[in-house]
Amino acid sequence: MEKKRAIALGFFDGLHVAHRAVLEGVRDQGSGVRSSVSPEPCLLPSCLLFDEHPLRRLRGSAPPQLLTDEDRDAMLRAMGLEILKIPFREIMLFDARRFFEEVLLGRLHAGAVSCGYHYHFGHEGAGDAALLRQLCAEYNVSLTVVPKVEYKGEAVSSTRIRAELARGNLGDANAMLGRPFGYTLEVVEGEHIGRTLGAPTLNQRFPLGFAVPKYGVYASQALAEGAWRASVTNIGVRPCFGGTQLQSETHILAFSGDLYGARVPVRLLRYLRVERRFASLEELKEQIGKDIKERDAQNRGNA
């Protein structure tokens, strides 16, 4: 007999603090052990994901992602969760009861589920947390409904986080994420302009549909050779050089290793200044020096 699971339900597009509350719900349900009071074996903590954002299939477009699929899956596994992925197109027309009975019970062997207070499921989102509670009671499935998680008096949501990122407000965005906003992307060959200016950079290109924060320069961290290192990241199109390719360019302080072709994690900590055009390369070089000096001072202050 296949082991029963405790399954987190929702669209975990950011793994922010509200999502994590739902995920903790299945970890709690799945961490129990057999006892004289509860002889059932512990459940396998799991997270149900679709292979695509439902809105992309239903409406042709979806909100920008706060995490790459690779980073999301790595974070879920680090939390000790089994990842369950099913094609959304296969179940998009299922009504709520059919989804519960055929997918959660029949295919995935749910013994417990966890969801947010505003969870909807089934065709056109007709099912809600109240209906889920009825179905769970009918089939003797344990249910955890996580109440609203608030930040500054409003519900935490991926929409709010994207809005703060677009403003360059890393303080509020990172508080709602529960971690620094970041990405793990391949380092690609650039034009080596940064090297000529005394600040070699790691060039990374954002995937289509990723939530790119406000253009500008950020205090950041990059994981290089097994350690998180202080860095400065420019996000934008390099207006000084007539650029059109959006990318992330990160200069790691006091580091000279070769990372071409590696997938390097970068975290954004604080917005420093807007991206702008300079009158000359010397003026740009001078500003880059100031950015590095400011970041170095921050790093020393946090040491």
Last residue of a domain, one of 154, 189, 219: 154
Residue 160 within a domain: no
pLDDT along the chain (303 residues), means of 10: 88 94 86 42 90 86 93 95 95 96 96 95 94 97 96 97 97 98 92 57 93 94 94 79 76 88 96 69 58 66 56
Looking at the structure, tell me whether residues 37 and 132 fall in a common domain. Answer: yes
pTM of the model: 0.86
- Put residue 87 in one of left, alpha, beta given phi > 0 → left and psi -120 to 50 → alpha: beta
Q: How much is the pLDDT for 297?
A: 67
Looking at the structure, tell me whether residues 104 and 216 fall in a common domain. Answer: no
Looking at the structure, tell me whether residues 135 and 202 fall in a common domain. Answer: no
Residue 298 within a domain: yes
Looking at the structure, tell me whether residues 193 and 288 fall in a common domain. Answer: yes
Looking at the structure, tell me whether residues 78 and 136 fall in a common domain. Answer: yes
Instruction: Render pLDDT for 241-292 as a digit per residue (tens, 0 to 9).
Output: 455 689 999 999 988 888 999 999 999 999 998 876 644 445 555 556 666 6
Domain count, the chain: 2
Residue 221 within a domain: yes
SS3 300: helix
Residue 174 within a domain: no
Looking at the structure, tell me whether residues 69 and 128 fall in a common domain. Answer: yes
Residue 268 contacts residue 182 (beta carbons within 8 Å): yes
Angle at 115 between CA 114 and CA 116, to 5 degrees: 145
Q: How much is the pLDDT for 2?
A: 73
Looking at the structure, tell me whether residues 20 and 130 fall in a common domain. Answer: yes
User: What is the C-alpha to C-alpha distance for residues 73 and 86, in angstroms, rounded to an integer?
Assistant: 14
Looking at the structure, tell me whether residues 17 and 130 fall in a common domain. Answer: yes
Looking at the structure, tell me whether residues 94 and 39 fall in a common domain. Answer: yes
Q: How much is the pLDDT for 8?
A: 97
Looking at the structure, tell me whether residues 89 and 16 fall in a common domain. Answer: yes
Q: What is the CATH number of the domain that holds 281?
A: 2.40.30.30
Nearest of 104, 106, 105, 123 to residue 57 by alpha carbon: 123
Residue 162 within a domain: no
Residue 284 within a domain: yes
Please report which helix (H) or strand (E) contains residue 24, including its range: helix 17-30
Residue 9 within a domain: yes
Last residue of a domain, one of 136, 154, 172: 154
Looking at the structure, tell me whether residues 202 and 82 fall in a common domain. Answer: no
Q: How much is the pLDDT for 76?
A: 96
Please report which helix (H) or strand (E) contains residue 272, including its range: strand 263-273
For residue 275, give the amino acid letter.
E
Looking at the structure, tell me whether residues 130 and 188 fall in a common domain. Answer: no
Residue 175 within a domain: no
HEC secondary structure over the chain: CCCCEEEECCCCCCCCHHHHHHHHHHHHHHCCCCCCCCCCCCCEEEEEEECCCHHHHHHCCCCCECCCHHHHHHHHHHCCCEEEEECHHHHCCCCHHHHHHHHHHHHCCEEEEEEECCCEECHHHCEEHHHHHHHHHHCCCEEEEECCCEECCEECCHHHHHHHHHCCCHHHHHHHHCCCEEEEEECECCCCHHHHCCCCCEEECCCCCECCCCCEEEEEEEEECCEEEEEEEEEECCHHHCCCCCEEEEEECCCCCCCCCCEEEEEEEEEEECCCCCCCHHHHHHHHHHHHHHHHHHHHHHC
Residue 202 contacts residue 279 (beta carbons within 8 Å): no
Q: What is the CATH number of the domain that holds 56?
A: 3.40.50.620
Host domain of residue 76: 5-154
